[in-house]
């Protein structure tokens, strides 16, 4: 049996036998306030975030933006002042300290910037600690399991050394092995490469990519912009609020306040392969951003034949043509036939407010709408021949 499959997600099912939500991690309108000598400090402000199974999500932002606080909410290390955190169907913000410790040990692997290995224990003893605490393996099998995960990260040869005898990169691999010991479905890493040179950081990142390919969900805080570009999705935090990066790329002229506001208007939706998202001739009430997969723009001729005029890829949007021209869609939009599609919608009123407050955005949207109208005309011309 493959190492990463020794335990399944059955812990989640046993904890919650009912079918749980489609997203593995849901951060729901959380606020975190700290009392300081200067008064109340708002580390997080009404943050919403959803992360699906098997995603590799990077969390970036300036120092003090709220990155680590958000991670502490997801791991249950800290509690929100307001709002809730749901992980695998479990409202973890409602657990007491004993329940939280048990839940965290079985469901999360946490990797820290400075390794946090116990210096008086050998490498293999450090990796065995989570198994000892959670009693997930029999005592006779824990050493074998520890050697398996150490081999997975490439440091099994150092199993009987003390952490201080290893390089920084080797210690971080040991820390990752320890995080994998109980085969948790989620790995949370807080600046895991921040204390490493670029070559070692790339090796650690490649290891994370392998874990994601094997079904793990990874949430990684990083200040490394090169690594952040390689994850499946990047979440940007500024002053305790989330900015969806695809919005800042689509509308680079928006300021931070506008980006935070429009992010707050987003609503996620999922569509199965081939599902119709918008039908030609129907009114459109939203602007749609593609966050996963791609969407086909389909034109149907009078004799019923369908032609794919174009497609909308990840981090692009559609629906602007109808919203600018009376609200009726001139074409149909459907999820690609190959994979499920995820979108985030912005309501018509929010879209209208956005383009009314930013002339640059209005021009950007108008330009794209004109391109798509021209594509439709050209497709009609070809189809009539």
CA dist 199 and 153 (Å) reads 16
pLDDT number for residue 378: 67
Q: Are strands 82-87 and 25-36 parallel, antiparallel or unpaired?
A: antiparallel
Whole-Å CA distances, 371 to 100, 317, 364: 53, 13, 11
CATH code for 258-384?
Answer: 2.60.120.10
- Yes or no: say if 267 and 345 are a contact pair by the CB < 8 Å rule: yes
pLDDT number for residue 129: 92
- Yes or no: say if 354 and 258 are a contact pair by the CB < 8 Å rule: yes
Mention the CATH class of domain 3-14+53-76+96-239.
alpha beta
pLDDT by residue (tens digit) across 252-291?
A: 788 777 888 888 888 888 899 999 999 888 888 999 999 8
pTM attached to this predicted model: 0.70
CB environment 56-86: b (16+ within 10 A), e (fewer): bbbbbbeeebbbbbbbbbbbbbbbbeebbbb
pLDDT number for residue 227: 73
Cβ-Cβ contacts under 8 Å for 153 (sequence gap 6 or more): 173, 174, 176, 177, 180, 207
pLDDT by residue (tens digit) across 283-322?
A: 889 999 998 889 998 887 777 778 888 888 888 888 888 8
The mean pLDDT value for 125-142 works out to: 89
Indicate whether 12 pLDDT > 50. Answer: no
Q: Where are the domains of the chain?
A: 3-14+53-76+96-239, 258-384
pLDDT by residue (tens digit) across 184-194?
A: 999 999 888 87
Indicate whether 16 pLDDT > 60. Answer: no
């Amino acid at each position: 049996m493959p190492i990463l499959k020794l335990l399944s997600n059955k812990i989640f099912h046993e904890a919650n036998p009912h079918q749980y939500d489609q997203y593995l991690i849901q951060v729901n309108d959380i606020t975190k306030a700290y009392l300081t000598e200067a008064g109340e400090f708002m580390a997080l402000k009404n943050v919403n975030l959803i992360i699906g199974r098997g995603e590799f999500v990077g969390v970036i932002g300036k120092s003090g933006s709220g990155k680590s606080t958000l991670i502490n909410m997801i791991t249950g290390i800290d509690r929100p002042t307001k709002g809730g955190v749901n992980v695998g169907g479990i409202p973890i913000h409602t657990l007491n300290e004993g329940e939280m410790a048990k839940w965290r040990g079985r469901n999360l692997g946490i990797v820290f910037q400075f390794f946090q290995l116990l210096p008086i224990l050998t490498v293999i003893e450090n990796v065995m600690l989570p198994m000892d605490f959670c009693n997930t393996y029999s005592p006779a099998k824990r050493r074998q399991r520890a050697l398996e995960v150490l081999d997975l990260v490439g440091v099994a040869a150092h199993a009987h050394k003390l952490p201080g005898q290893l390089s920084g990169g080797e210690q971080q691999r040991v820390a990752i092995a320890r995080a994998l010991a109980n085969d948790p479905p989620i790995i949370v890493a807080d600046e895991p490469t921040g204390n490493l040179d670029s070559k070692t950081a790339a090796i650690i990142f490649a290891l994370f990519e392998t874990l994601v390919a094997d079904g793990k969900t990874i949430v990684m805080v990083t200040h490394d912009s090169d690594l952040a570009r390689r994850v499946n999705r990047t979440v940007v935090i500024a002053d305790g609020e989330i900015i969806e990066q695809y919005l800042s790329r689509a509308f680079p002229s928006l300021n931070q306040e506008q980006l935070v506001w429009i992010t707050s208007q987003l609503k996620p939706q999922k569509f199965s392969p081939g599902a119709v998202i918008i039908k030609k001739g129907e009114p459109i009430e939203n602007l749609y951003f593609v966050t996963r997969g791609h969407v086909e723009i389909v034109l149907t001729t009078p004799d019923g034949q369908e032609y794919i005029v174009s497609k909308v890829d990840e981090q692009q949007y559609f629906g602007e043509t109808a919203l600018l021209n009376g609200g009726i869609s001139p074409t149909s939009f459907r999820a690609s036939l190959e994979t499920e599609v995820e979108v985030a919608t912005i309501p018509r009123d929010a879209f209208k407010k956005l383009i009314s407050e930013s002339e640059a955005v209005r021009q950007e949207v108008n330009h794209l709408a004109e391109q798509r109208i021209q594509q439709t005309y050209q497709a009609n011309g070809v189809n009539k021949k």
